[in-house]
Structure 1
Amino acid sequence: MRKKNTTIAIRCTEEESRHIHKLAERHGLKLNDFVMRCALGKKIFVAHGIDEIVRQQKAIGRNLNQIATLANMDRLTAVNFQPLLDEHRKVTEMIGQLLREVK
């Protein structure tokens, strides 16, 4: 982890300050992180609703695990879930990639 040991102070109007704080909040970042990313030319992504998508994806995964458990216990006639499992895995990987880029 890099050591942050230098301070940069800037002056701005109250209106500019409010605007910068609102932008940081809108992007879900701390003010320091937002300003650093802007100043260093890094991309800032806003992924509204990603938490809900991840929650739903996890629920699907749990349901698939429950179905697999029942099938392994011979309490369920086995159905070919491989295409569904492949799609679930692909979407999960895409969500992980998006989250790594966002953070």
Structure 2
Amino acid sequence: MKKDIKFSTRMTSGDRESIKELAKQSGMSMSNYVTACCLGKQVVVIDGLKEVLKELKYIGKNLNQLVTLAHMGRVTVIHLDSTLQVFSELRDAVRMILERKRW
């Protein structure tokens, strides 16, 4: 949506710096951050998500390779104990991140 109205307000320089830092942490512009907060929207920042998604990507690639080899008949028995262990740890990490952000 096009922003067609300019809104100004007075505040202390400390408050402005705090808002600026919060907006930066959220990955939003100050304008978008303030608008979201004023409209009662929840701004959630999840630390560590990049690493979790990276691990999920690796697991997905490995599983795809195993499935391809199985379809080719080159693999008949697959031991997924280590994959299951890593996946369980990843699941626990995601659960911890989600529980930490409950309000």
**In 1, distance between residues paired with 2:32 and 2:2?**
14
**In 2, distance between residues paired with 1:67 and 1:34?**
44
Flag structure 2 segments of 5+ consecutive residues without an equivalent.
Answer: 99-103
| Residue 36 (structure 1) shift | 0.8
**Equivalent in the alignment of 1:101:** none
**In 1, distance between residues paired with 2:35 and 2:55?**
33
**Equivalent in the alignment of 1:46:** 45
Establish whether residue 72 from structure 1 lines up as the match of residue 78 from structure 2.
no
Describe the SS at the equivalent of 1:24. helix
How large is the RMSD of aligned CA atoms in angstroms? 2.4
**In 1, distance between residues paired with 2:4 and 2:29?**
18
**Equivalent in the alignment of 1:34:** 33
**In 2, distance between residues paired with 1:4 and 1:73?**
55
**Equivalent in the alignment of 1:59:** 58
**In 2, distance between residues paired with 1:57 and 1:21?**
32
| Residue 60 (structure 1) shift | 0.6
TM-score by length of 2: 0.71
Sequence identity of aligned pairs in percent? 36
TM-score by length of 1: 0.71
Aligned length: 85
What is the one-letter code of the residue matched to 2:69?
Answer: L
Flag structure 1 segments of 5+ consecutive residues without an equivalent.
Answer: 99-103
| Residue 80 (structure 1) shift | 9.3
**In 1, distance between residues paired with 2:62 and 2:78?**
14
